[in-house]
Structure 1
Amino acid sequence: MVQPDEEEEEEDYMSMVFVDTPANPQHETSLQRAARKRREGEARSRIKSKAEREAEAEAAREAALSTALPSSNKGFKMMAKFGFKQGDSLGKSEDARKEPVQVNIKEDRGGIGLESEKKRKFKETMAQAAKEAKRIKATEGDYREERKQEAKNKKDERDLDNAQRIAERLAEQEFEEKNPGQTYQVPLKDINVLWRGRTQRRLEKEQDRQKQRELHNTLSSRLSTSANDEEQDDDSKIALGRDLAPFYTSLEDDDLEVGSDLMIFEALPAADRLQKVTIFLREKYHYCFWCGHRYTDITMDGCPGVTEEEHD
């Protein structure tokens, strides 16, 4: 009978040691060998790309430049005879170059001076581009300024027409207050030059409309009686009131005269004409065009100023 102290101690599984499986099998099977040779053949037969070849050449060049000559090198032995030691500089000067000259690989087929010529042309192109950009910027600034001025001129023309309309209306009211029961009728040459041009343009439009109406009425009346007119002589037409008078005779001799003072005033810029009309409204009728209000006296208490900017 085996004693308890003589019983074999059971092996603890926590203390078991596992042997790593070898990375490469000791014995290669035929299938493994065939697969390995196929991979090696494919690797040898694969044509490397240009980028891969350049990368390998660059790596080999850097490795060669960064590796010092070994003492067994024939060139190193020749320099050692002249006192050269590893890490020293060549020549008598201690400040001489210790590292080899860096190699700059020229990959294109251009001449040696082509790079400097390209740089010069590039600088010229950049300078020309900067000059052109500056010119375009100046042109754009001028264009924006012109558009801004055009918009201001159009606004001044609109304001001028409104100011002239107000001045004309106030003048009519003043005439009716001084002449009760009478219609405001003033010859064109006697109208204030500040709004005479506006009145003249309105009268010209009225004349054009009147001529069109008379022409239409005359043609209508003649077409309606054309059949009977062909059978009548001139005496009969005169007796019936259908003489040979020309069209729209009522206004053909009524020419609108343009005074020299109006021509001088119309030649001024719109802003200057507007200023003259607004000042006239203030002095004559105590009316501020920018406020849109007629004050009781010349002091015009409450009005910010004379110009539009003062009313902003």
Structure 2
Amino acid sequence: MSDEDEDYMSDAFLSKMQDVKPGVSMVRRVKEAMKKEERQKENNAKNRQKTVKQQEEESRESALQSSISSQNKGFALLQKMGYRAGQGLGKEGAGRVDPIPLNIKTDRGGIGMEEVKKRKAEEELERYQQKVRAKQRNETKSLQEFRSRVRTEREERKIEGDLRRSQRACEQLDSQKGITVPREDWYWPKADADVEEDGLKEEDEEEDAEELTSFDKLQILTSYLRGIHFYCIWCGTTYNDEEDLYSNCPGDTAADHE
């Protein structure tokens, strides 16, 4: 082998060989391209010109963050009058220390639009509260009417029950004294057959005179029982005489016996 021929087994020859592993060169080239694209995007973002609005915002924020210098004419006048930086305004120094905050208007509404929106919101709230109050009043009224109706129905059932008891007691006590005909037809309880036979008679009588209510009948019948028989349906007792009745009976109504 001549000196010009290079030994293919030597390190010098192998170092010249490229990596021929399948796919490795392609992956490396793709990664390098992606990195290059990212760097290009970053450079474009840095070099991109800012909009006028962005420049105004940055300038305004920078000015708000920095204190007023002595070169400002207004601040110079305050200093001549004895004002010192960080001191409150006013003769006693008890006034505002920080500047009035700056509120930037970002919408397209005209001047006074915020007040209109606020007033409308308050009106909507007031209408809603009125509806709620009206609903509560209606519910309270309905509940009161329901309770009153239930109480009235309960009282009417109680009066009807006391009237039936008085009629049975009247028939029994009248019979004991030999009375075969009641003073009034309704003083005694009516049998089912008598009710059917006297139905037409009662209708004719109701046309001539106003029908008594159960409460009226109960008052009349209990007065009859107390005056004639010295009997009280709520005590369930027949007293010896009128003096005994008024001395021992609480009264002539159901409320007196509660």
> Same-fold call, TM > 0.5?
yes
- Structure 2 matches for 1:176-255, cutoff 5 A? 184=180, 186=181, 191-193=182-184, 195-196=186-187, 198-199=189-190, 203-204=194-195
Aligned to 2:76: 81
4+ residue runs of structure 1 moved beyond 6 angstroms?
89-92, 103-110
Q: Is the CA contact (8 Å cut-off) linking 1:282 and 1:288 kept in structure 2?
A: yes
Aligned to 1:307: 253
Aligned partners of 1:105 and 1:129: how far apart in 2?
Answer: 38
Q: 2:157 aligns with which of 154, 157, 167?
A: 154
State the AA in 2 paired with 1:99: D
SS of the equivalent of 2:189 reads helix
State TM-score, norm by structure 2.
0.57
Return closer, same or farther for 1:287/1:197 CA change in 2, 3 Å cut-off.
closer
Please state if 1:291 is matched with 2:227: no
Return closer, same or farther for 1:95/1:155 CA change in 2, 3 Å cut-off.
same
User: Structure 1 unaligned runs (5+)?
Assistant: 1-63, 177-183, 208-253
| Matched length | 184
Aligned partners of 1:153 and 1:106: how far apart in 2?
Answer: 72
Q: Is the CA contact (8 Å cut-off) linking 1:163 and 1:277 kept in structure 2?
A: yes
Aligned partners of 2:145 and 2:106: how far apart in 1?
Answer: 49
User: How far has the Cα of 1:166 moved from its partner?
Assistant: 1.0
Aligned to 1:269: 213
Aligned partners of 2:138 and 2:169: how far apart in 1?
Answer: 46
Percent identity of paired positions between Structure 1 and Structure 2: 25
Return closer, same or farther for 1:104/1:261 CA change in 2, 3 Å cut-off.
same
Aligned partners of 1:277 and 1:107: how far apart in 2?
Answer: 87
State the AA in 2 paired with 1:260: E
RMSD: 3.9
Return closer, same or farther for 1:118/1:144 CA change in 2, 3 Å cut-off.
same
Aligned to 1:257: 201
Aligned partners of 1:146 and 1:197: how far apart in 2?
Answer: 30
State the AA in 1 paired with 2:226: R
Aligned partners of 1:279 and 1:198: how far apart in 2?
Answer: 17
State the AA in 2 paired with 1:257: K
User: Bigger relative contact order, structure 1 or 2, given CA contacts below 8 A and separation 6+?
Assistant: 1
Aligned partners of 1:281 and 1:69: how far apart in 2?
Answer: 105
Aligned partners of 1:143 and 1:149: how far apart in 2?
Answer: 10
Please state if 1:99 is matched with 2:98: yes
Aligned to 1:127: 130
Return closer, same or farther for 1:278/1:127 CA change in 2, 3 Å cut-off.
same
Aligned partners of 1:109 and 1:296: how far apart in 2?
Answer: 99
Q: Is the CA contact (8 Å cut-off) linking 1:168 and 1:195 kept in structure 2?
A: no
Q: Is the CA contact (8 Å cut-off) linking 2:163 and 2:218 kept in structure 1?
A: yes
Aligned partners of 2:237 and 2:150: how far apart in 1?
Answer: 32
